[in-house]
Structure 1
Amino acid sequence: MTETVTIETRACMFCGASSRVELTARQAAALAARRPVQDVLPDVEPARRELLISGTHPDCWARAFG
């Protein structure tokens, strides 16, 4: 079984809410070591990766930028 870690994102710049995201312990460690999110999570859609980078929710991004 793969160990999972729940991380809390930054607050979204649009709505102010943070999110919780589950990652494997290996993924969380790689992000903590400042590896590029696209290298750590290449199969994750860009909107979800943005959530990890900036805290911006996909829906908030879509409302702000279309």
Structure 2
Amino acid sequence: MALMKQAYNLFFKRSSTFALSIVLGAIFFERFFDQVGDAVFDHLNDGKLWKHIKHKYEKNEEE
């Protein structure tokens, strides 16, 4: 119960800190969700994307 009281006093007691915590939470959640989505997409399409196969088609400058 003490943890809930601390969270209330820290985040929810004033409207300004409540709004700020919602905005910051949304920003961090969006970044996390985007990174996880990209990682899952890359894993599911491993070997099919240009960044995985471009070495087969690009010429080396040494040649």
Pair in the same fold by TM > 0.5: no
Higher normalized contact order (CA 8 Å, seq sep 6+, divided by chain length): 1
Q: Give the alignment's TM-score, normalised by structure 1.
A: 0.21
Rg larger in structure: 2
Q: Give the alignment's TM-score, normalised by structure 2.
A: 0.21
Higher helix share: 2
Higher strand share: 1
